[in-house]
Amino acid sequence: MILQGKNVVLGVTGGIAIYKAVDLCSKLVQAGANVDVIMTEAATHFVTPLPFQTLTKRPVSVDMFQLLRDTEMAHISLSKKADVLVIAPATANTIAKLALGLADNLLTSTALASRAPLVIAPAMDADMWAHPATQQNVQLLRSRGAVFVGPARGRLASGRMGQGRLAPIEDILGAIRQTLGSKGPLAGVRVLVTAGGTQEPLDPVRHIGNRSSGKMGYALAEAARDMGAQVILVSAPTCLAPVFGVEMLHVRTAAEMHRAVMERLSQVDVLIMAAAVADYRPKHAAVQKIKKGAKGLVLELERTEDILGAVAKARPSLGKPRVVVGFAAETEDLLKNAREKMHRKKVDLLVANDVSAPDSGFGVETNRVVLLAPGKKEEALPLLPKFEVAERVLSKVAALLEAE
Protein backbone atom coordinates (compact mmCIF):
# COMPACT_ATOMS: atom_id res chain seq x y z
CA MET A 1 0.00 0.00 0.00
CA ILE A 2 1.36 3.35 -1.13
CA LEU A 3 0.70 5.08 2.24
CA GLN A 4 2.88 2.65 4.22
CA GLY A 5 5.77 4.57 5.83
CA LYS A 6 4.92 7.86 4.07
CA ASN A 7 5.16 11.16 5.98
CA VAL A 8 1.83 12.92 5.76
CA VAL A 9 1.43 16.38 7.26
CA LEU A 10 -2.28 16.89 7.87
CA GLY A 11 -3.36 20.51 8.18
CA VAL A 12 -6.70 21.02 9.89
CA THR A 13 -8.48 24.37 9.72
CA GLY A 14 -11.49 25.81 11.51
CA GLY A 15 -14.65 24.46 9.91
CA ILE A 16 -17.49 22.33 11.17
CA ALA A 17 -16.37 19.43 8.93
CA ILE A 18 -13.37 19.06 11.23
CA TYR A 19 -14.90 16.02 12.93
CA LYS A 20 -14.44 14.15 9.64
CA ALA A 21 -10.73 15.03 9.69
CA VAL A 22 -10.41 12.83 12.78
CA ASP A 23 -11.65 9.89 10.68
CA LEU A 24 -9.24 10.83 7.85
CA CYS A 25 -6.39 10.96 10.36
CA SER A 26 -7.36 7.54 11.71
CA LYS A 27 -7.53 5.99 8.24
CA LEU A 28 -4.13 7.44 7.30
CA VAL A 29 -2.59 5.96 10.45
CA GLN A 30 -4.30 2.60 9.80
CA ALA A 31 -2.82 2.60 6.29
CA GLY A 32 0.67 2.86 7.80
CA ALA A 33 1.38 6.58 7.25
CA ASN A 34 3.36 8.67 9.74
CA VAL A 35 0.94 11.52 10.35
CA ASP A 36 1.85 14.92 11.84
CA VAL A 37 -1.14 17.14 12.47
CA ILE A 38 -1.03 20.93 12.38
CA MET A 39 -4.14 22.72 13.62
CA THR A 40 -4.92 26.37 13.09
CA GLU A 41 -5.98 28.29 16.17
CA ALA A 42 -9.54 28.45 14.75
CA ALA A 43 -9.60 24.66 14.42
CA THR A 44 -9.00 24.27 18.15
CA HIS A 45 -12.34 26.02 18.77
CA PHE A 46 -14.11 23.03 17.16
CA VAL A 47 -12.07 20.13 18.60
CA THR A 48 -9.05 19.94 20.86
CA PRO A 49 -5.75 18.47 19.67
CA LEU A 50 -6.41 15.41 21.85
CA PRO A 51 -8.11 13.08 19.30
CA PHE A 52 -5.40 13.74 16.70
CA GLN A 53 -2.66 13.29 19.28
CA THR A 54 -4.21 10.04 20.49
CA LEU A 55 -4.53 8.65 16.96
CA THR A 56 -1.09 9.69 15.68
CA LYS A 57 0.75 9.20 18.99
CA ARG A 58 2.60 12.41 18.13
CA PRO A 59 2.33 15.97 19.44
CA VAL A 60 -0.13 18.14 17.51
CA SER A 61 1.36 21.46 16.40
CA VAL A 62 -0.65 24.65 16.75
CA ASP A 63 1.73 27.32 17.94
CA MET A 64 3.87 29.02 15.31
CA PHE A 65 6.64 29.68 17.79
CA GLN A 66 6.84 26.25 19.34
CA LEU A 67 10.18 24.49 18.92
CA LEU A 68 10.33 20.79 18.11
CA ARG A 69 13.09 18.96 19.97
CA ASP A 70 14.48 22.14 21.64
CA THR A 71 15.89 23.98 18.62
CA GLU A 72 14.00 22.73 15.57
CA MET A 73 11.47 25.16 14.11
CA ALA A 74 8.21 23.28 13.64
CA HIS A 75 7.26 24.76 10.27
CA ILE A 76 10.67 24.10 8.72
CA SER A 77 10.95 20.63 10.20
CA LEU A 78 7.45 19.53 9.14
CA SER A 79 7.69 21.10 5.69
CA LYS A 80 10.91 19.28 4.90
CA LYS A 81 9.88 15.85 6.14
CA ALA A 82 6.47 15.82 4.38
CA ASP A 83 5.95 13.48 1.42
CA VAL A 84 2.58 15.18 1.03
CA LEU A 85 0.83 18.09 2.72
CA VAL A 86 -2.92 17.58 3.07
CA ILE A 87 -5.29 20.31 4.22
CA ALA A 88 -8.69 18.94 5.24
CA PRO A 89 -10.98 20.66 5.89
CA ALA A 90 -9.61 23.76 4.16
CA THR A 91 -11.59 26.94 4.80
CA ALA A 92 -11.97 29.77 2.27
CA ASN A 93 -9.72 31.83 4.54
CA THR A 94 -6.83 29.33 4.47
CA ILE A 95 -7.23 28.80 0.71
CA ALA A 96 -6.95 32.59 0.23
CA LYS A 97 -3.83 32.74 2.39
CA LEU A 98 -2.23 29.87 0.46
CA ALA A 99 -3.00 31.58 -2.85
CA LEU A 100 -1.40 34.81 -1.62
CA GLY A 101 1.59 33.06 -0.06
CA LEU A 102 0.81 34.39 3.41
CA ALA A 103 2.61 32.76 6.32
CA ASP A 104 0.81 34.03 9.38
CA ASN A 105 0.33 30.74 11.23
CA LEU A 106 2.10 27.42 11.53
CA LEU A 107 0.06 25.74 8.76
CA THR A 108 0.47 28.48 6.13
CA SER A 109 4.16 28.88 7.04
CA THR A 110 4.68 25.14 6.63
CA ALA A 111 2.87 25.21 3.27
CA LEU A 112 5.05 28.10 2.06
CA ALA A 113 8.26 26.42 3.19
CA SER A 114 7.30 23.04 1.70
CA ARG A 115 7.92 21.72 -1.80
CA ALA A 116 5.85 18.58 -1.11
CA PRO A 117 2.72 18.06 -3.21
CA LEU A 118 -0.33 19.79 -1.75
CA VAL A 119 -3.78 18.15 -1.52
CA ILE A 120 -6.62 20.47 -0.50
CA ALA A 121 -10.10 19.33 0.56
CA PRO A 122 -12.24 22.47 0.91
CA ALA A 123 -15.34 22.68 3.11
CA MET A 124 -17.37 25.83 3.47
CA ASP A 125 -20.70 27.48 2.80
CA ALA A 126 -21.81 27.16 -0.85
CA ASP A 127 -21.79 30.94 -1.43
CA MET A 128 -18.27 31.25 -0.06
CA TRP A 129 -17.13 28.44 -2.39
CA ALA A 130 -18.88 29.98 -5.40
CA HIS A 131 -17.52 33.49 -4.70
CA PRO A 132 -15.22 34.68 -7.50
CA ALA A 133 -12.49 35.41 -4.95
CA THR A 134 -12.45 31.77 -3.78
CA GLN A 135 -12.73 30.43 -7.33
CA GLN A 136 -9.80 32.56 -8.48
CA ASN A 137 -7.72 31.44 -5.50
CA VAL A 138 -8.52 27.82 -6.34
CA GLN A 139 -7.53 28.35 -10.00
CA LEU A 140 -4.27 29.96 -8.93
CA LEU A 141 -3.41 27.12 -6.55
CA ARG A 142 -4.35 24.55 -9.21
CA SER A 143 -2.07 26.26 -11.70
CA ARG A 144 0.75 25.83 -9.17
CA GLY A 145 0.05 22.10 -8.96
CA ALA A 146 -2.24 21.86 -5.91
CA VAL A 147 -4.73 18.98 -6.11
CA PHE A 148 -8.29 19.83 -5.05
CA VAL A 149 -10.72 17.15 -3.95
CA GLY A 150 -14.31 18.28 -3.51
CA PRO A 151 -16.18 20.06 -2.16
CA ALA A 152 -19.18 17.77 -2.59
CA ARG A 153 -22.79 18.77 -3.03
CA GLY A 154 -25.38 18.08 -0.35
CA ARG A 155 -26.73 19.37 2.92
CA LEU A 156 -24.55 22.06 4.48
CA ALA A 157 -24.18 23.04 8.16
CA SER A 158 -26.57 25.95 7.55
CA GLY A 159 -29.28 23.46 6.56
CA ARG A 160 -29.19 24.63 2.93
CA MET A 161 -28.32 22.36 0.02
CA GLY A 162 -25.34 23.26 -2.11
CA GLN A 163 -21.69 22.61 -2.97
CA GLY A 164 -19.50 22.99 0.07
CA ARG A 165 -19.40 19.67 1.94
CA LEU A 166 -16.07 18.04 2.65
CA ALA A 167 -15.44 15.38 -0.01
CA PRO A 168 -15.99 11.77 1.15
CA ILE A 169 -12.99 10.55 3.15
CA GLU A 170 -12.44 7.72 0.61
CA ASP A 171 -12.03 10.37 -2.12
CA ILE A 172 -9.57 12.39 -0.03
CA LEU A 173 -7.57 9.21 0.62
CA GLY A 174 -7.77 8.44 -3.11
CA ALA A 175 -6.40 11.89 -3.96
CA ILE A 176 -3.54 11.48 -1.47
CA ARG A 177 -2.69 8.00 -2.81
CA GLN A 178 -2.84 9.17 -6.42
CA THR A 179 -0.59 12.14 -5.59
CA LEU A 180 1.96 9.99 -3.75
CA GLY A 181 2.03 7.43 -6.56
CA SER A 182 2.17 9.84 -9.48
CA LYS A 183 5.80 9.00 -10.27
CA GLY A 184 5.32 5.26 -9.69
CA PRO A 185 6.27 2.36 -11.98
CA LEU A 186 3.19 2.89 -14.20
CA ALA A 187 3.58 6.69 -14.55
CA GLY A 188 2.32 7.76 -17.97
CA VAL A 189 0.84 4.32 -18.72
CA ARG A 190 -2.84 4.15 -19.73
CA VAL A 191 -4.60 1.13 -18.23
CA LEU A 192 -8.13 -0.11 -18.97
CA VAL A 193 -9.62 -2.47 -16.39
CA THR A 194 -12.97 -4.25 -16.67
CA ALA A 195 -14.84 -5.23 -13.51
CA GLY A 196 -18.05 -6.80 -12.27
CA GLY A 197 -20.46 -9.26 -13.79
CA THR A 198 -22.36 -8.39 -16.97
CA GLN A 199 -26.17 -8.69 -16.96
CA GLU A 200 -28.05 -10.09 -19.97
CA PRO A 201 -31.73 -9.04 -19.97
CA LEU A 202 -34.49 -11.64 -20.16
CA ASP A 203 -37.27 -9.09 -19.92
CA PRO A 204 -37.57 -5.54 -18.46
CA VAL A 205 -37.15 -6.78 -14.86
CA ARG A 206 -34.95 -9.89 -15.06
CA HIS A 207 -31.50 -10.76 -16.30
CA ILE A 208 -28.99 -13.59 -16.45
CA GLY A 209 -26.02 -12.59 -14.31
CA ASN A 210 -23.22 -13.99 -12.17
CA ARG A 211 -21.81 -13.54 -8.67
CA SER A 212 -19.02 -11.07 -9.47
CA SER A 213 -18.98 -8.18 -6.98
CA GLY A 214 -16.44 -6.12 -8.94
CA LYS A 215 -14.03 -6.10 -5.96
CA MET A 216 -11.12 -7.65 -7.88
CA GLY A 217 -11.46 -5.25 -10.82
CA TYR A 218 -11.92 -2.17 -8.61
CA ALA A 219 -8.83 -3.18 -6.59
CA LEU A 220 -6.86 -3.39 -9.85
CA ALA A 221 -8.05 0.09 -10.87
CA GLU A 222 -7.07 1.55 -7.47
CA ALA A 223 -3.69 -0.16 -7.43
CA ALA A 224 -2.91 0.95 -11.01
CA ARG A 225 -3.83 4.55 -10.08
CA ASP A 226 -1.57 4.33 -7.00
CA MET A 227 1.30 3.22 -9.27
CA GLY A 228 0.93 6.34 -11.44
CA ALA A 229 -1.26 4.99 -14.27
CA GLN A 230 -4.11 6.84 -15.95
CA VAL A 231 -6.94 4.41 -15.48
CA ILE A 232 -10.24 3.75 -17.25
CA LEU A 233 -12.56 1.39 -15.38
CA VAL A 234 -15.28 -0.23 -17.48
CA SER A 235 -17.66 -1.46 -14.82
CA ALA A 236 -20.63 -3.77 -15.04
CA PRO A 237 -23.26 -3.04 -12.33
CA THR A 238 -21.80 -3.32 -8.78
CA CYS A 239 -22.52 -1.90 -5.33
CA LEU A 240 -19.05 -0.34 -5.15
CA ALA A 241 -18.35 3.41 -5.00
CA PRO A 242 -16.59 5.00 -7.99
CA VAL A 243 -12.79 5.03 -7.67
CA PHE A 244 -11.35 8.54 -7.18
CA GLY A 245 -9.07 9.67 -9.99
CA VAL A 246 -10.25 6.93 -12.34
CA GLU A 247 -12.39 7.48 -15.44
CA MET A 248 -15.53 5.40 -14.86
CA LEU A 249 -17.57 3.91 -17.69
CA HIS A 250 -20.72 2.09 -16.64
CA VAL A 251 -22.02 -0.73 -18.83
CA ARG A 252 -24.52 -3.50 -18.32
CA THR A 253 -24.27 -6.22 -20.96
CA ALA A 254 -21.41 -8.11 -22.60
CA ALA A 255 -22.20 -6.26 -25.84
CA GLU A 256 -21.88 -2.87 -24.09
CA MET A 257 -18.63 -3.93 -22.43
CA HIS A 258 -17.32 -5.18 -25.78
CA ARG A 259 -18.15 -1.80 -27.39
CA ALA A 260 -16.59 0.22 -24.54
CA VAL A 261 -13.36 -1.81 -24.62
CA MET A 262 -13.00 -1.82 -28.42
CA GLU A 263 -13.67 1.94 -28.68
CA ARG A 264 -10.78 2.68 -26.31
CA LEU A 265 -8.38 -0.07 -27.33
CA SER A 266 -6.14 2.11 -29.47
CA GLN A 267 -5.71 4.60 -26.58
CA VAL A 268 -4.52 2.16 -23.93
CA ASP A 269 -1.21 0.49 -23.16
CA VAL A 270 -2.62 -2.19 -20.89
CA LEU A 271 -5.94 -4.07 -20.87
CA ILE A 272 -6.92 -6.11 -17.80
CA MET A 273 -10.08 -8.19 -18.23
CA ALA A 274 -11.11 -8.93 -14.64
CA ALA A 275 -14.84 -8.78 -15.43
CA ALA A 276 -16.95 -11.91 -15.40
CA VAL A 277 -18.46 -11.53 -18.86
CA ALA A 278 -21.50 -13.61 -19.78
CA ASP A 279 -20.75 -16.21 -22.43
CA TYR A 280 -24.44 -16.52 -23.39
CA ARG A 281 -27.42 -14.15 -23.54
CA PRO A 282 -31.12 -14.74 -24.20
CA LYS A 283 -31.62 -14.70 -27.96
CA HIS A 284 -34.74 -12.58 -27.57
CA ALA A 285 -35.30 -10.34 -24.55
CA ALA A 286 -39.07 -10.04 -23.96
CA VAL A 287 -40.41 -6.49 -24.28
CA GLN A 288 -42.88 -7.00 -21.43
CA LYS A 289 -42.42 -8.89 -18.16
CA ILE A 290 -42.65 -12.64 -18.80
CA LYS A 291 -45.83 -14.02 -17.19
CA LYS A 292 -45.66 -17.28 -15.30
CA GLY A 293 -47.64 -20.11 -16.84
CA ALA A 294 -48.55 -23.64 -15.87
CA LYS A 295 -45.62 -25.13 -17.78
CA GLY A 296 -41.88 -24.62 -17.47
CA LEU A 297 -40.03 -22.00 -19.51
CA VAL A 298 -37.44 -22.77 -22.19
CA LEU A 299 -34.98 -20.00 -23.00
CA GLU A 300 -32.97 -19.91 -26.19
CA LEU A 301 -29.49 -18.52 -25.61
CA GLU A 302 -26.90 -17.26 -28.06
CA ARG A 303 -23.17 -16.60 -27.66
CA THR A 304 -22.02 -13.15 -26.60
CA GLU A 305 -19.00 -11.37 -28.04
CA ASP A 306 -15.69 -12.85 -26.89
CA ILE A 307 -13.99 -9.58 -25.91
CA LEU A 308 -10.48 -10.99 -25.48
CA GLY A 309 -10.93 -12.83 -28.79
CA ALA A 310 -11.79 -9.54 -30.53
CA VAL A 311 -8.84 -7.82 -28.85
CA ALA A 312 -6.46 -10.54 -30.06
CA LYS A 313 -7.69 -9.97 -33.64
CA ALA A 314 -7.39 -6.17 -33.49
CA ARG A 315 -4.03 -6.01 -31.71
CA PRO A 316 -1.60 -6.72 -34.57
CA SER A 317 -2.87 -3.85 -36.73
CA LEU A 318 -3.41 -1.41 -33.82
CA GLY A 319 -0.14 -2.13 -32.06
CA LYS A 320 -2.11 -1.65 -28.84
CA PRO A 321 -2.58 -2.63 -26.06
CA ARG A 322 1.06 -3.41 -25.36
CA VAL A 323 0.09 -5.83 -22.57
CA VAL A 324 -3.16 -7.84 -22.26
CA VAL A 325 -4.10 -9.58 -19.00
CA GLY A 326 -6.91 -12.13 -18.77
CA PHE A 327 -8.46 -13.86 -15.79
CA ALA A 328 -9.62 -17.46 -15.61
CA ALA A 329 -12.37 -18.34 -13.15
CA GLU A 330 -12.30 -22.11 -12.76
CA THR A 331 -14.12 -24.61 -10.58
CA GLU A 332 -12.07 -27.66 -11.69
CA ASP A 333 -8.68 -28.46 -13.27
CA LEU A 334 -7.50 -24.91 -12.56
CA LEU A 335 -4.08 -25.04 -14.20
CA LYS A 336 -5.02 -27.23 -17.16
CA ASN A 337 -7.95 -24.97 -18.07
CA ALA A 338 -5.98 -21.78 -17.36
CA ARG A 339 -3.08 -22.84 -19.62
CA GLU A 340 -5.52 -23.61 -22.42
CA LYS A 341 -7.26 -20.22 -21.92
CA MET A 342 -3.94 -18.35 -21.90
CA HIS A 343 -3.07 -19.71 -25.37
CA ARG A 344 -6.58 -19.50 -26.81
CA LYS A 345 -7.17 -15.93 -25.62
CA LYS A 346 -3.60 -14.87 -26.64
CA VAL A 347 -2.93 -12.96 -23.40
CA ASP A 348 0.47 -11.93 -22.03
CA LEU A 349 -0.52 -12.73 -18.47
CA LEU A 350 -3.30 -14.92 -17.14
CA VAL A 351 -4.54 -14.74 -13.57
CA ALA A 352 -6.11 -18.09 -12.69
CA ASN A 353 -8.40 -18.24 -9.68
CA ASP A 354 -10.09 -21.27 -8.21
CA VAL A 355 -13.56 -19.85 -7.61
CA SER A 356 -14.84 -22.96 -5.85
CA ALA A 357 -12.89 -22.13 -2.65
CA PRO A 358 -14.99 -20.14 -0.14
CA ASP A 359 -12.22 -17.59 0.51
CA SER A 360 -11.29 -16.98 -3.12
CA GLY A 361 -12.93 -15.57 -6.25
CA PHE A 362 -16.48 -14.21 -6.36
CA GLY A 363 -17.72 -11.75 -3.74
CA VAL A 364 -15.13 -12.26 -1.00
CA GLU A 365 -12.34 -9.87 0.07
CA THR A 366 -9.49 -12.27 -0.71
CA ASN A 367 -8.26 -14.22 -3.70
CA ARG A 368 -5.86 -17.09 -4.28
CA VAL A 369 -4.39 -16.96 -7.77
CA VAL A 370 -1.74 -18.48 -10.00
CA LEU A 371 0.01 -16.16 -12.48
CA LEU A 372 0.76 -17.68 -15.88
CA ALA A 373 2.70 -16.06 -18.73
CA PRO A 374 3.71 -17.74 -22.00
CA GLY A 375 7.18 -19.28 -21.70
CA LYS A 376 7.53 -18.28 -18.04
CA LYS A 377 7.44 -20.24 -14.79
CA GLU A 378 3.99 -20.31 -13.18
CA GLU A 379 3.75 -18.42 -9.89
CA ALA A 380 1.21 -19.47 -7.25
CA LEU A 381 0.43 -16.65 -4.81
CA PRO A 382 -0.83 -17.33 -1.28
CA LEU A 383 -4.29 -16.24 -0.15
CA LEU A 384 -4.12 -12.41 -0.20
CA PRO A 385 -6.48 -9.44 0.08
CA LYS A 386 -7.65 -8.54 -3.43
CA PHE A 387 -5.73 -5.25 -3.31
CA GLU A 388 -2.48 -7.14 -2.73
CA VAL A 389 -3.29 -9.55 -5.56
CA ALA A 390 -3.84 -6.45 -7.74
CA GLU A 391 -0.46 -5.01 -6.72
CA ARG A 392 1.29 -8.29 -7.59
CA VAL A 393 -0.47 -8.49 -10.98
CA LEU A 394 0.44 -4.88 -11.78
CA SER A 395 4.09 -5.39 -10.81
CA LYS A 396 4.16 -8.15 -13.43
CA VAL A 397 2.53 -5.80 -15.93
CA ALA A 398 5.18 -3.12 -15.20
CA ALA A 399 7.92 -5.72 -15.75
CA LEU A 400 6.33 -6.84 -19.05
CA LEU A 401 6.17 -3.21 -20.26
CA GLU A 402 9.78 -2.65 -19.29
CA ALA A 403 10.92 -5.84 -21.02
CA GLU A 404 9.41 -4.79 -24.38
Q: Cite the active site residues.
A: 210
Q: Does 264 bind ligand PMT (CB under 6 A)?
A: no
| Neighbour count for residue 42 (Cβ, 10 Å) | 16
Q: Does 341 bind ligand PMT (CB under 6 A)?
A: yes
CB of 194 to ligand PMT, least distance (A): 6
Question: Which residue in the set 307, 324, 334, 372 belongs to the binding site for ligand PMT (CB under 6 A)?
Answer: 307
Q: Kindly report the CA angle at 200 between 194 and 201, in degrees rounded to 5?
A: 140
Q: HEC string of the chain? A: CCCCCCEEEEEECCCCCHHHHHHHHHHHHHCCCEEEEEECCCHHHCCCCHHHHHHHCCCCECCCCCEECCCEEHHHHHHHHCCEEEEEEECHHHHHHHHHCCCCCHHHHHHHHCCCCEEEEECCCHHHHHCHHHHHHHHHHHHCCCEECCCEEEECCCCCEEEEECCCHHHHHHHHHHHHCCCCCCCCCEEEEEECECCEEEECCEEECCCCCCHHHHHHHHHHHHCCCEEEEEECCCCCCCCCCCEEEECCCHHHHHHHHHHHHHHCCEEEECCECCCEEECCCCCCCCCCCCCCCCCCEEECCCHHHHHHHHHHHHCCCCEEEEEEEECCCHHHHHHHHHHHCCCCEEEEEECCCCCCCCCCCEECEEEECCCCCCEECCCEEHHHHHHHHHHHHHHHHHCC
Measured from the CB atom, the residue of 44 and 337 that comes closer to ligand PMT is: 337
**Which of 16-24, 74-82, 119-127, 323-331 is the region at the interface with ligand PMT (rule: CB under 6 A)?**
323-331
- How far is Cα 109 from Cα 33, in angstroms, rounded to an integer? 22
Q: Does 35 bind ligand PMT (CB under 6 A)?
A: no
Q: Does 308 bind ligand PMT (CB under 6 A)?
A: yes
How many residues touch ligand PMT under the rule CB under 6 A: the total is 29
Question: Which residue in the set 304, 334, 390, 391 belongs to the binding site for ligand PMT (CB under 6 A)?
Answer: 304
CB of 226 to ligand PMT, least distance (A): 18
Q: Which residues pair with 197 in a beta bridge?
A: 276
Measured from the CB atom, the residue of 89 and 321 that comes closer to ligand PMT is: 321
CB of 239 to ligand PMT, least distance (A): 11
Measured from the CB atom, the residue of 149 and 371 that comes closer to ligand PMT is: 371
CB of 339 to ligand PMT, least distance (A): 12
Measured from the CB atom, the residue of 55 and 334 that comes closer to ligand PMT is: 334
Q: Does 334 bind ligand PMT (CB under 6 A)?
A: no
Query: Which residues between 200 and 259 bind ligand PMT (CB under 6 A)?
Result: 212-217, 254
Q: Does 388 bind ligand PMT (CB under 6 A)?
A: no
Question: Which residue in the set 60, 232, 275, 400 belongs to the binding site for ligand PMT (CB under 6 A)?
Answer: 275
CB of 340 to ligand PMT, least distance (A): 10
Which candidate, 109, 111, 128, 131, places its Cα nearest to that of 119?
111
**Which of 121-129, 156-164, 184-192, 354-362 is the region at the interface with ligand PMT (rule: CB under 6 A)?**
354-362
- How far is Cα 227 from Cα 245, in angstroms, rounded to an integer? 12
CB of 218 to ligand PMT, least distance (A): 8
Q: Does 353 bind ligand PMT (CB under 6 A)?
A: yes
Strands 190-195, 230-235: pairing kind: parallel
- The pattern of x and - marking residues 358 through 377 that bind ligand PMT according to CB under 6 A reads ---xxx--------------
CB of 275 to ligand PMT, least distance (A): 5
- The pattern of x and - marking residues 53 through 82 that bind ligand PMT according to CB under 6 A reads ------------------------------
Q: Does 146 bind ligand PMT (CB under 6 A)?
A: no
Question: Which residue in the set 37, 276, 334, 349 belongs to the binding site for ligand PMT (CB under 6 A)?
Answer: 276
Q: Name the site residues for ligand PMT (rule: CB under 6 A).
A: 212-217, 254, 273-277, 279, 304-308, 326-329, 341, 345, 353, 355, 361-363
